[in-house]
């Protein structure tokens, strides 16, 4: 290993008791950092040492996993979630294979978007739209109840709350599903902050989404390019500005929306003007930026996986989310990891850029519950 190659992060690793021996070569140094920048979905209610996702955790240092209750590619309800006891075993097994603490994530917003459903034995929760009509104590209590459900099941990361403003109540991905707290941006920021606090009270990190605002979109980015150039306004940044200024936002997910007023070439997930310029420099966010699922058609219809990976990293994203659900490939992590390391070795992406994201990810993981 190069002298002091881990100097910027070694103290953090020690603080969180990451005492497993680290590989002793520059290549392995890079392998670890790249692996931590990836989060992936997988198939199965249980894992073994030979499972592809376990190999990714052990051999490629995969930084996070995401669980789903439905396998979209197979059109099947058999994916990762069957019962509370089964999920708790699965998440514990996955975490046990990781040398660096594993992010174990799920989309548990409430209402129409909750992977842990009452029909499978989990506690249900109201939609954001319903919560937005309640008092502050009730909203924070709802976040805490979601947090308790997640912690019991072994999750430490919730891709919630939605910080999108309910600009268009008929927006297919947000308004129509009741996923926004309010049409008032300040109220969205207030409610999202209360929900985050509730999650945090149970040891669960929340993730605001979908930056820089999906509430005015007339189409669904799961299905193709979503253009909000004519409908988006800077008022949709208000919830993020509020929570970043309070220090409440630790992770933010990008949207696959296109806005020519922000970037004439790329959607937000792949846009340096949006992630580095708007989110980091203008709003002052230095937490972890995670992409929305790179398998969504807004990305796959226009960009190949190589281009999407390169552009997302160049834009400033720290974690690349590969849901591996809309389409499925057991080698998805291996291929993505190989592409990123090759780009670094070929000089396409600077190693310093990879280390920057690695340090942010470890800062986040430093505060994960044991």
Using the 8-state DSSP alphabet, how is residue 133 labeled? Answer: T
Residue 76 per-residue DSSP state: B
Q: Under the phi-then-psi rule, with left for phi > 0, alpha for psi from -120 to 50, and beta for the rest, what region is 187?
A: alpha
Catalytic residue among 164, 292, 293, 295: 292
CA–CA distance, 93 with 91 (Å, rounded to integer): 5
Residue 244 Rama label (left phi>0; alpha psi -120 to 50; beta): alpha
CA distances from 66 to 154, 170, 178, 236, 346 (A): 12, 28, 23, 27, 30
Concerning whether 266 is annotated as a catalytic residue, the answer is no
Which residues does 105 contact at the CB level (< 8 Å), separation at least 6? 39, 64, 65, 66, 67, 155, 156, 157, 158, 159, 207
The residue annotated as part of the active site, out of 28, 82, 222, 227, is 222
222 is a catalytic site residue: yes
CA distances from 27 to 11, 36, 77, 320 (A): 21, 14, 40, 20
Q: Which residues form the catalytic set? A: 222, 292
């Amino acid at each position: 290993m190069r002298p002091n190659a881990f100097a910027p992060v070694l103290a953090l690793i020690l603080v969180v008791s990451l005492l497993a021996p680290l590989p002793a070569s520059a290549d392995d140094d890079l392998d670890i950092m790249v692996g931590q920048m990836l989060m992936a979905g997988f198939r199965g209610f249980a894992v073994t040492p030979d499972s592809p996702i376990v190999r990714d955790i052990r051999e490629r240092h995969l930084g996070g996993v995401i669980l789903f209750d439905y396998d979209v590619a197979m059109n099947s309800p058999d994916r990762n979630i069957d019962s509370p006891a089964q999920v708790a075993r699965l998440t514990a097994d996955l975490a046990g294979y990781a040398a660096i603490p594993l992010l174990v994530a799920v989309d548990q917003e409430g209402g129409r978007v909750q992977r842990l459903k009452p029909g499978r034995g989990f506690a249900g929760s109201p939609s954001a739209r319903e919560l937005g009509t309640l008092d502050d104590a009730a909203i924070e209590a709802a976040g805490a109840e979601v947090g308790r459900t997640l912690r019991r099941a072994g999750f430490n990361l919730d891709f919630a709350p939605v910080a999108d403003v309910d600009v268009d109540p008929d927006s297919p991905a947000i308004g129509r599903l009741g996923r926004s707290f309010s049409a008032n941006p300040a109220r969205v920021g207030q409610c999202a902050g209360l929900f985050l606090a509730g999650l945090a009270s149970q040891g669960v990190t929340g993730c605001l989404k979908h930056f820089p605002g999906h509430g005015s979109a007339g189409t669904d980015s799961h299905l193709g390019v979503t253009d909000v150039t004519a409908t988006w306004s800077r008022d949709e940044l208000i919830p993020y500005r509020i929570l970043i200024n309070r220090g409440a936002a630790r992770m933010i997910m990008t949207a696959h929306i296109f806005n020519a007023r922000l970037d004439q070439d790329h959607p937000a997930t792949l846009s340096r003007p949006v992630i580095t310029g708007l989110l980091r420099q203008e709003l002052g966010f230095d937490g972890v930026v995670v992409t929305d699922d790179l398998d969504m058609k807004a990305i796959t219809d226009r960009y190949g996986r190589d281009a999407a990976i390169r552009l997302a990293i160049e834009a400033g994203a720290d974690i690349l989310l590969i849901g591996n659900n809309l389409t499925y490939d057991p080698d998805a992590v291996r291929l993505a990891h190989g592409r990123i390391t090759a780009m670094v070795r070929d000089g396409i992406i600077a190693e310093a850029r990879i280390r920057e994201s690695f340090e942010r990810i470890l800062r986040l993981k430093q505060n994960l519950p044991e």
